[in-house]
Structure 1
Amino acid sequence: MANGQQKAQQNLEAFEVWKATQTDDDLKQIVFRGQLNRIEVAKGIGCGKSALNQNPALKNALKELENELRDRGVLPDLTDFAKENADNPNVYDNSANRKLLDSKRLSSLEAENIELKAKIKELEKRLERFGELSETLSEIGLMPR
């Protein structure tokens, strides 16, 4: 069984063989969002997609291939934003889902609060009206004390 370094070297060699067998038309078929589709590249090499990110030599070889393809016009040029942030991956915001749930809950609670305030005003008006009626009946003497 091969250790990690040997497996990394095997993956790099498999990438070089795969790269040599691909034409520009073949590579155009697996372009996704301005770069080569990592899943398709991994399938072609016969390794996992994670190897493309975790193996530095393989990662650099793939980056060099993409740069060559950009120079030849197979891949579109990188935008200025992509060039500036090439080495800065997006930070995962694990609180985004919680914020969304909190926002929905807040919205429903505010709606319920408005409904309850309206109901309270209606009941206060009724109570005021019945209070006056009770007072009038009491003065007339029709109500038992």
Structure 2
Amino acid sequence: MANGRQRAKQNVAAFDAWVATQSDEDFAQIIFQGKLNRMEVAKGVSCGKSALNQNPELRKRLKKLEELLRERGVLPQLTEKAKAQANQPKEYDNKAARRILDTKRTCQLEQENIELKALVQELEAQLERFGELSEVLSEMGMMPR
């Protein structure tokens, strides 16, 4: 079994081999938000997505690859705002998890609301039908006990 350093070197070698087998069209198919999709790159290299972030050599090579693809016109050029934010850490959003849960709950409640509205319509139709039947029976003098 390989230790962490050996596995890191294997991932870098696998990344280099994967890059060598890809064409510009292949790279164009895995673009996501102006960068290469990290999940697709990880699948191609047969490593975890975390390796792309945690392995400094792999991270450096991926950045170089994206710069090369930008020069060749495969990836879109970075905007000034993106360039300014490139080296800054992302701000932690402590309410993101709550927003996700709220969105999920809202979707569930909307679904339940739609189902209940359909049920109410069905029951109102049945009530109307049975109301008319009860009225006819009472006019005929046959009231059920």
TM-score strictly above 0.5? yes
- State the one-letter code of the partner of 1:48: G
- State the one-letter code of the partner of 1:33: Q
| Partner of residue 8, structure 2 | 8
TM score, norm. by length of structure 2? 0.65
Within 2, Cα distance between the matches of 1:48 and 1:92? 23
Larger radius of gyration: 1
Alpha-carbon spacing, 1:93–1:76, altered in 2? closer, same or farther (3 Å): same
Within 2, Cα distance between the matches of 1:91 and 1:32? 21
Q: Percent identity?
A: 62
TM score, norm. by length of structure 1? 0.65
Task: Indicate the SS of the match to 2:92.
Answer: coil
| Partner of residue 31, structure 1 | 31
Alpha-carbon spacing, 1:10–1:96, altered in 2? closer, same or farther (3 Å): closer
| Partner of residue 84, structure 2 | 84
| Partner of residue 43, structure 1 | 43
The Cα of 1:97 is off from its aligned counterpart by 6.0
Q: Unaligned stretches of 5+ in structure 2?
A: 100-145
Deviation track 1:109-138 (CA, whole Å, cap 9, x = no partner) reads xxxxxxxxxxxxxxxxxxxxxxxxxxxxxx
Alpha-carbon spacing, 1:13–1:93, altered in 2? closer, same or farther (3 Å): same
The Cα of 1:96 is off from its aligned counterpart by 5.6
Q: Unaligned stretches of 5+ in structure 1?
A: 100-145
| Partner of residue 72, structure 1 | 72
